[in-house]
Amino acid sequence: MAFGSLRRIERFGWASSKLEQRGRSIVRRLSTFTEVDESKKNSSHQETGKSNKSVNLFSAINQALHIALETDPRSYVFGEDVGFGGVFRCTSGLSDRFGKRRVFNTPLCEQGIVGFAIGLAAMGNRAIAEIQFADYIFPAFDQIVNEAAKFRYRSGNQFNCGGLTIRAPYGAVGHGGHYHSQSPEAFFCHVPGIKVVIPRSPQQAKGLLLSSIRDPNPVVFFEPKWLYRLAVEEVPDKDYMLPLSEAEVIREGSDITLVGWGAQLSIMEQACFDAEKDGISCELIDLKTLIPWDKETVEASVNKTGRLLVSHEAPITGGFGAEIAASIVERCFLRLEAPVARVCGLDTPFPLVFEPHYMPTKNKILDAIKSTVKY
């Protein structure tokens, strides 16, 4: 919304030096893009397709939304305050450019927002709904789980809401407290019929969001709000997509495989650097899509290293790390040289005053790396 402005985000705590570590060092690596057919492009926005600019994560999301609306006249963006740019500025400029009929504010009613989006998508449109914080997605949980995910199946493929994408900022920010910090991804990973995607950086965010919007299945897209302003990297101006359900090895190593997603990757990467000083070579994998997930890439890596560590901010019990651990133990049992390590959030509500205790910090990861390698 108009008052969101940069000010909001700064006061949100992004400027503190401790937080800066997050995101700054995030892996800047160009991955393989699916380029969108150049001949179909006509706007000035895309003619500059060759240039890359350094942008932060919220701007990358904003670019993706511009492109999505521009390339498909049947796409819509809506949610609480998105007409004013959204609390994190992800939707700024969209309603001015595409009009209030395609980019609009909704009342404060998450269940209604998602139900409405499912109906809109069922008519063959791309419905891009924003839930202001992932913590507020639960009023819409029923719509996502019972309506969106099963629409295609239960109608014998007559109907679907494949054009549905739900965007929501997730995760810790340093002091967000109980209801501005949670990582609810695991709840949605228990639901066949939807995809769950989480980007780690601006470049990833743009390409993965465009893929999610254009994917013929409903997608829940969680954005690491800690990185909205902190993570800056070169992002191609052009329209590009990154494949869903394909994990990426972002750092090669031989002693242990680390798997994570979103904001947690930069913390894990720091642990990899520190482990290296102790002579431990870590391989780091960004899962990117949580369901359906790329077991093969993880399996191949664990077959090489013989060890696995998974890390996420969500509480450890029932987290998606548990699923990864179980699947990999099943596939790589004889190759494993140590139990799968999980460094995750604690089994407590997300705390206001004890956030550093709760979080899967670099030191916790480093310790787990060492004990797994020494096992």
Partner 1 sequence: MAQLTHRTSSLLKPLSFALSSTRHLSSTTPITVETSLPFTGHNIEPPSRSVETTPQELIKFFRDMALMRRMEIASDSLYKAKLIRGFCHLYDGQEAVAVGMESAITRKDCIITAYRDHCLFLGRGGTLVEAFAELMGRKEGCSKGKGGSMHFYKKEGGFYGGHGIVGAQVPLGCGLAFAQKYSKDENVTFAMYGDGAANQGQLFEALNMAALWDLPAILVCENNHYGMGTAEWRAAKSPAYYKRGDYVPGLKVDGMDAFAVKQACKFAKEHALKNGPIILEMDTYRYHGHSMSDPGSTYRTRDEISGVRQERDPVERIRKLVLAHDLATEKELKDTEKEIRKEVDDAIAKAKESPLPDPSELFTNIYVKGYGVESYGADRKELRAVLP
Q: Which of partner 1, ligand TPP, none sits in contact with 367, Cβ below 5 to 8 A by type?
A: partner 1
Q: Is 47 a catalytic residue?
A: no
Tell me which stretch binds partner 1 (CB under 8 A): 89-97, 175-183, 223-231, 236-244. 175-183
Chain-centroid distance of CA 59 in Å reads: 15
Place of tokens 């897209």: 221
Q: How far is the CB of 352 from partner 1 (least distance, A)?
A: 4
Residues 100-129 that bind ligand TPP (CB under 6 A): 108, 110
Q: How far is the CB of 193 from ligand TPP (least distance, A)?
A: 24
Q: How far is the CB of 108 from ligand TPP (least distance, A)?
A: 5
Strand stretches in 247-297, DSSP E:
248-251, 256-260, 282-286, 289-291
- Give the DSSP letter string of 121-168: HHTT-EEEEE-SSGGG-GGGHHIIIIIITTHHHHTTTS---TTEEEEE
Whether the upstream peptide bond of residue 292 has omega within 30° of 0, thus cis, is yes
Cross-strand pairs, 236: 52
Query: Among candidates 225, 230, 277, 268, which has minimal Cα distance to 361?
Result: 268
For the record, the structure tokens of 41 come out as 């492009």
Q: How far is the CB of 45 from ligand TPP (least distance, A)?
A: 31
| Catalytic residue of the set 66, 130, 147, 180 | 180
For the record, the structure tokens of 179 come out as 């209801």
136 lies in the binding site for ligand TPP (CB under 6 A): yes
Q: Looking at beta carbons, which residue is closest to ligand TPP?
A: 136
Tell me which stretch binds ligand TPP (CB under 6 A): 120-128, 131-139, 225-233, 240-248. 131-139
Task: Using CB under 6 A, pick the residue from 13, 139, 318, 351 that binds ligand TPP.
Answer: 139
Q: Is 110 a catalytic residue?
A: yes
Q: How far is the CB of 341 from partner 1 (least distance, A)?
A: 12
107 lies in the binding site for partner 1 (CB under 8 A): yes
Q: Are 185 and 160 in contact (CB under 8 A)?
A: no
Handedness of CA 295, 298, 304, 310 (dihedral sign): negative
| Catalytic residue of the set 80, 110, 248, 283 | 110
Query: Among candidates 19, 168, 26, 16, which has minimal Cα distance to 88?
Result: 168
Contacts with partner 1, 26-65, as mask; x by CB under 8 A: ----------------------------------------
Neighbours of 353 (CB within 10 A): 9
Binding residues for ligand TPP (CB under 6 A):
80, 108, 110, 132, 136, 139
Q: Which residues are catalytic?
A: 110, 180
Binding residues for partner 1 (CB under 8 A):
1-5, 7-9, 11-13, 80-81, 84, 87, 105-109, 111-112, 135-136, 138-139, 174-180, 346-349, 351-354, 356-358, 361, 363-364, 367
